[in-house]
Structure formats: C-alpha cells, structure tokens
Structure 1
Amino acid sequence: MSEQLPQSPSEEARARRIAELEFRLARRRVGVRPMAAVVAIAVGLVLLGMQWKDLSYFLSTSVPLTLGAEGAYRFEALVSNRYAQVHGVPTVRGAYERADGALYVLVGLRDSPFVVRRPALPGEQWTDGRPPPQPDQRPFAVRGRLLAQEDAPRYRDALALMERMGELQPRGGRLWLLIEGERPGADRGLLLVCLALVTFVVLNAMLLVRGLKRR
C-alpha cells in the first residue's frame, strides 16, 4: 500500500487557495447576493404598484356605469377608475392636446362636473399658433374610462383650465374626466408588463431564499 507523501508548506498554501476559490465559486453559483435580491424585489414591487391603478381598471367589469343625461345626471353612481357612459350638451369652449400623432379635444358637459377627452371631429382641426376652434356643439353620448380629478394627474392643468372657464359645476369640489374609448381588458401590453414584473419579483424571491439557505 502506497503512502501519501507529506506536502511542502508551499503546496499546502496552494491547496488552501484552491479550496477557497472553489468555495467562492460554489457560492456564486447560487445566484444573486441576498441584498441584491432584496433590492430587486423592492424595485419590482414599486414598479408593480405604479401599474396597479391601470391593472385594476383592466380587470374591472366591462358593463358601463350609467351616469344619465343632461338634467338627470346620476351623481350617486360616480366611481373613479370605472367604465362609464354619459350623455350631455358640450360646453362652448374646450382644450386641445396632441398625443401619439393625433389631435384630441377636452370638452365639458354643461351644468355638470364631466369633462370628456375624445378625438377631434371634422371642423375641430387646430393649427399651432392659432386660436383653437369651438368644439362641436351637437349633444353626444360617450363611453370610456371615468376618473376623479385627483386620479388624473396628467390632465391636472387642462381640468383646472376647464373649471376656470365657468361652464362646469364641480361635484364635491372636483371634476370628473371621461376618456373616450378606453375599455377594460383592452390594453394587453399592460398585462404583459405586469406579468413580467411578477415573474421578476418571484424569481428574485426564490434566489433570496436559496442564498439565505446557503449562508
């Protein structure tokens, strides 16, 4: 039977370095470090929280709230971030905006707290640098996403402008915005983004658990 020869001090030191290197490589194969996983989970949850309002609308019912018509509005039915329908007479003045290469009009419904955002109609074409035209004055019905004023920060300035025009009647100190054409369940891209964020959070949670078990 052969006997193992004793190692020299330099060989022992090299063996220790190799063992340490193998240990470090084994730890790296676990995945991300626990602190990095925690940060990734926190970032994922924050991003998911930013999508929550849109996601809740995506999952809401497609049966519209009926808010009535001029002279018989159903203010008791007002619920923010819901699909709704309403009929009314447009205000004399409105506000215009360009988005995604298209022209949109924000027009109020007289004697109500409602402001409707809809695509510009023929005759409502606005040229930059010139006064905006009067919105089409025919009464109309519209369906879309209903938002309380505080839930529509993007339109804060436009809604404040509409209120100063004096043709609207805020309800409980606020206006209500109805964005024509936005239906629940229509934005598939939003669903994909949320699923990706959930997957990201779950994956990092699994890596965190594995990392803690190996410590």
Structure 2
Amino acid sequence: GGGQQSTRSSVVAVDDDAADFLKRVESSLMDMPLRGVQNIKKVFLRQTKKVVNTVDGYHNEDEWMLDTEGVNMAEVMCDERIDFSRCLTNDLVETLQLFGIEATRAALLRELRGVIEFDGSYVNYRHLSILCDVMTCRGYLMAITRHGINRVENGPLMRCSFEETVDILFEASAHGMTDRMRGVSGPIMMGQLAPVGTGSFDLVLDEEKLERAMDMDGGAGGGGG
C-alpha cells in the first residue's frame, strides 16, 4: 500500500512538472517572433513621387513606401534592405532615444504641420516653431499641460494664467512667492506694458545734454538779437 501511494505521488508530481513546463513553453512561443520585425503588426504600401536629377534635368518618378502599424526603428534601421537615411517615425519618444533632442524637435514640427495643414489650412511656420522650441528647449520633451509647462520654475502669475489658477495662487500666497514680472502674463494682469516688442527697452533722457542743448539754443538766439 505504501509503495503504491509513493508511486502515485511521484506520478502526480511528474505530471505537474510537465504541465508547468508546457505552460512555460507555450508562453515563450507566444512571445517569440517567427518572422518580420517585433512590435510591427501590419505594413501598408503607399505610392509617392520622388524628384530625380539626371543629365536631362529634374523629373518625377513613382516610388513605393511602407507605412507600418507599430514602431521599432532600432531594428528596422539595421536591415540592409532598408534605406535607413530615409526612415521616419511619428513616435517622438523613440526619436528622442535614438537621435536626440534636435531630431525630436524636427519630427515634432513635421507632425504638427501635417496635422494642421492637411486640409489646406495655413499657419505661419514661426508659431509652430516657437511651440516646438518651448517643448524641447530643456533637452527633453515637455508637455504643454499643467503637468509639464506649469511645473517649470516661473513666476506664479505666469503659471496661474494657464491652468490650476486658484491652486497656484493659494500656494504662492501661503509660501510668500514673488513674481519678477519678466514674463508676458504678469504685466498684462497688472495693466503694465509686457517686455515684448516696444516694451523690451526703455527710453532714457540725458538731462545734461538737454541742458547744454538749451544753453546753445539760448546763446544762438541772444547772439542773433
């Protein structure tokens, strides 16, 4: 009896080990790419035009490109069949990781212009460029939200003009914060001229030169009499 019980227990243990092993194998097989590029689920063909320079001049030629659903630039660029110098992605985080902040700014500007101008609308390049500069000037991507730009060390008046107005003013009053009024929002709230355009400088009167000029005018007038 004891021998049968021991044999039965060992068989059950072997079956459990085999089941666990098969589950681990199944899990590994489900995550194993058999072909293609990992994280890229679908590929779509798109025909475009490219400009070719020949001895007869410039002319357009048809060209086929691949649009993918999913991103894996690091692996795609290692494929010798792909022209890595012409690969583009709209994943700004991966662009930042692979190419740096300057390439991220260029990609951000390209995507913004594509979204805004797709229906023929026109927005001056400088407006979008300033937005991209603000989002990337610190060396990383900064969101234009209360969790991004409103966490930058600016004056409380500038920050409260964006979002969370009451919370920011309460915090500023509780901690005795000051605003140097060097931005745009603060002076406008206080009815002052913002330091932009003609407000970027002051006109100063040189009183000594003014007095000399008045003396010269007086002397010239007296001599003429």
- Report the TM-score range of the alignment, normalised by the length of the smaller protein: under 0.3
User: Which structure features the higher share of helix residues?
Assistant: 2
Structure number, greater radius of gyration:
2
Q: TM-score, normalised by structure 1?
A: 0.26
Higher relative contact order (CA 8 A, sep 6+): 1
Q: TM-score, normalised by structure 2?
A: 0.26
